[in-house]
Amino acid sequence: MRLLVLLLTLAVFPVHAQKPAYAVASLIGDRLLVVVADKSVGSNIDRNRREFHELKTPALDNGLMLAVQDALQDRDPDTKPILLGVSTKAIREMQARALDEGTGIKPMIDVIAPAAQKAGATHLIIALKNRDDARLRVADGMVGLGKLEGLGFYVDNVMRMTNSETGEGAVGFVAPFAYLRFLLVDLNTRATLREQVVRESHAVSSQKATVAWDALPAEQKVQLLQHLIRTAVDDAIPELLGKP
């Protein structure tokens, strides 16, 4: 009789599903890519000069995770995301192989998932680098040659630019960019539930700069990258989580 009463009670008052507990990981901030455009005519080959610059601090990864935390708490103030420091050499090498050879992301998830589950998470939000065609935002559209990935700067030393506010002309521009891929992973099944690719950029030119790279001082380069990361997060998280 008691069992029947219990079953009837559960039918009237269904048990609500457990709220997701999110772990957050970032694998975007180990190095920056600087691409200098080669405007050679008559070839479809990507002849751009590419240089990778290693970063000694996790500042950009930490900034992204804090931005994700803010986005989650804007959605649900009671959410307490678990921020994971996972950017080890081995995982970075896995990501490089995934970009270069198309090996997939499952090995990275399999490495990160146990720590996330041990911390009590049910779901993982992970930010990865994405590789795609160069499309840098300028006042009247998109420009660019070759491929970009992750975080960095695209430099064009010959394109003529016009300041839309002042009408001043300049030659060349430097564009910070963030080419990122966000995944929502069910930690129980290790399945990717949703994916969002974000491509952010901001071209800057200066009449005073003799070379395009100098159009932005070093401090402002970092600030713009941080701004692009936060913008990417703000675009991606609502799409990953769906409607409240």
pLDDT of 208 > 90? The answer is no
Sign of the Cα torsion 219, 162, 165, 226 reads negative
User: Facing residues of 211 across strands?
Assistant: none
User: How far is the C-alpha of 74 from the C-alpha of 68, rounded, in Å?
Assistant: 10
Predicted pLDDT at 207:
60
Q: Kindly report the CATH number that applies to the domain delimited by 19-39+46-241.
A: 3.30.160
Predicted pLDDT at 52:
94
Predicted pLDDT at 166:
60
Predicted pLDDT at 143:
86
What is the signed CA dihedral for 209, 210, 216, 219, rounded to 10 degrees?
A: -110
Q: What is the mean pLDDT of residues 39-49?
A: 68
Region of residue 243 (phi > 0: left; psi between -120 and 50: alpha; otherwise: beta): beta
CA nearest neighbour of 72 among 39, 121, 30: 121
User: How far is the C-alpha of 137 from the C-alpha of 164, rounded, in Å?
Assistant: 14
At position 148, the amino acid (one-letter code) is L
Q: What is the CA radius of gyration of the chain?
A: 22
Predicted pLDDT at 161:
78
Q: To the nearest whole percent, how much of the chain has pLDDT over 90?
A: 58
Q: pLDDT grade, residue 242 (50/70/90)?
A: confident
Whole-prediction pTM? 0.86
Q: pLDDT grade, residue 6 (50/70/90)?
A: very low
Predicted pLDDT at 43:
54
Burial class (CB in 10 A: 0-12, 13-18, 19+), 25: buried
Residue 3, phi then psi, degrees to nearest 5: -65, -40
Spell 84-121 as b/e; 16+ CB within 10 A means b.
Answer: bebbeeebbebbeebbeeeeebeebbeebbebbeeeeb
Predicted pLDDT at 9:
45
Q: pLDDT grade, residue 188 (50/70/90)?
A: very high
Q: What is the mean pLDDT of residues 69-87?
A: 94
Q: Domain extents for the chain? A: 19-39+46-241
pLDDT of 121 > 90? The answer is yes
Q: What is the mean pLDDT of residues 131-157?
A: 90
Predicted pLDDT at 102:
81
Instruction: Name the token pair of 57.
Output: 């601090």
Predicted pLDDT at 45:
63
Q: Which regions of the chain does DSSP assign to beta strands (E)? A: 22-26, 31-36, 49-54, 82-83, 123-129, 131-133, 136-138, 141-143, 147-162, 169-186, 191-201
Q: What is the mean pLDDT of residues 187-209?
A: 88
User: Facing residues of 31 across strands?
Assistant: 54
Predicted pLDDT at 11:
47
pLDDT higher for 76 or 45? 76
Burial class (CB in 10 A: 0-12, 13-18, 19+), 227: middle
pLDDT in tens, 150-171: 999 999 888 887 766 566 677 7
CB 22 within 8 A of CB 124: yes
Predicted pLDDT at 212:
73
pLDDT of 120 > 50? The answer is yes
Q: pLDDT grade, residue 78 (50/70/90)?
A: very high
